[in-house]
Amino acid sequence: METAIESLGNFLEEVPDEKYSEEYVRAKYLFAVVNDVYWNVEGGMEGMESIERTIEVYESYLQIATPDEYPIDYSNALHKVGVKYRELAEERDREENLRISVKSFEDAMKVRTPNEYAAGYAVTKRNLGITYYNLGFTYYEMSNEGNKEHNLKLSYYAFQKALDIFKAEEYSVGSDTIKNVEDHMDVIRSILGFSP
């Protein structure tokens, strides 16, 4: 894994004049993905450092790519940035990082539409639901009932849209994912006392 990271890094350094060529942009995305796997799955880095570096490499990719030319990679990068900011929120600046996470997921769904990329849209919508859920409880801890309720409702509706796609025959996902979404929705219903 380290050899792949080093090779991609060397390639990216050697072709700065061609930084917007298709080959360069794709290598930049691959560099982000490989580093993400290495830092976060293989244990190449730990804690905040891995989260911050992952955000950095994906945001670096997003600076040179466009959603029109690379819709799947671009939306995947935005999605990953959203996930990582949500993880960063567990460590510091909770409200701010959750807000950045929400924006990243919303930007990803401008590309990952339910009509063109339904499965990716549903996964991002579920993650948006988790982020709104966390934001709702952040406001609960701050005794901000209005924002708590608002964000939990946004969470509920995001989960519902994701669940509709997850349950569709052609986009079925594992029962654990569906149960996780349904459990979150049950908690929200019990807190808010509503059943849409």
pLDDT tens digits, residue range 84-113?
Answer: 999 999 989 999 999 999 999 999 999 999
Residue 12 has pLDDT above 80, yes or no: no
Give the span between the Cα atoms of 72 and 113, in whole angstroms. 11
What pTM was computed for the model? 0.86
Residue type, 79: H
Burial code (b: 16+ CB inside 10 Å, e: under 16) for 9-44 equals eeebeeeeeeeeeeebbebbbbbbbbbbebbbeeeb
CATH architecture of 101-196: Up-down Bundle (1.20)
Q: Domain residue spans in the chain?
A: 101-196
